[in-house]
Amino acid sequence: MDGTPRNGSPLPCTPLTAPQARAIAEAFRPAQAWGSRRDYYYTRGKLGSDPLYDGVLQHLPDDGQALLDLGCGLGLFAHVLRQRGGAQPYLGVDVDAGKITRAQRAAAGLLD
């Protein structure tokens, strides 16, 4: 994750594997059986089908600089970043306050 494409050409971008996507989606699974699983299934589907995360990570320098994610939604990029070993500071910004709240609760393990 040094931000430099190998051999001077970009690496192929692929979605996360099913186990990787499921591991992140678990943060959005509600503790109660009757809780909404909308974010859980959205996360599994999004991360399992969208190569964007892999593509961005290939070109993201791992130099300790803070990362600003505009339009972060549920903060999925932060989860992928941490899963892949990224440790730089992360700040997600989104106009949907509900998504920010759910993202913060998922990151803290507080989903209902």
**Residue range of the domain that includes 40:** 14-108
Query: pTM here?
Result: 0.82
Exposure string over 53-77, b if 16+ CB within 10 A, otherwise e? bbeebbebeeeeeebebeebbbbbb
How far is 4 from 95, CA to CA, in rounded Å? 32
pLDDT digits (tens, 9 = 90+) for 74-101: 999 999 999 998 889 999 999 999 999 9
pLDDT digits (tens, 9 = 90+) for 9-57: 666 889 999 999 999 999 999 888 888 899 999 999 999 999 999 989 8
Split into its structural domains, the chain has a count of 1
In a domain, 63, yes or no: yes
User: For residues 38 and 29, is the Cβ–Cβ distance under 8 A?
Assistant: no
In a domain, 45, yes or no: yes
Q: Return the bridge partners of 91, or none.
A: 68
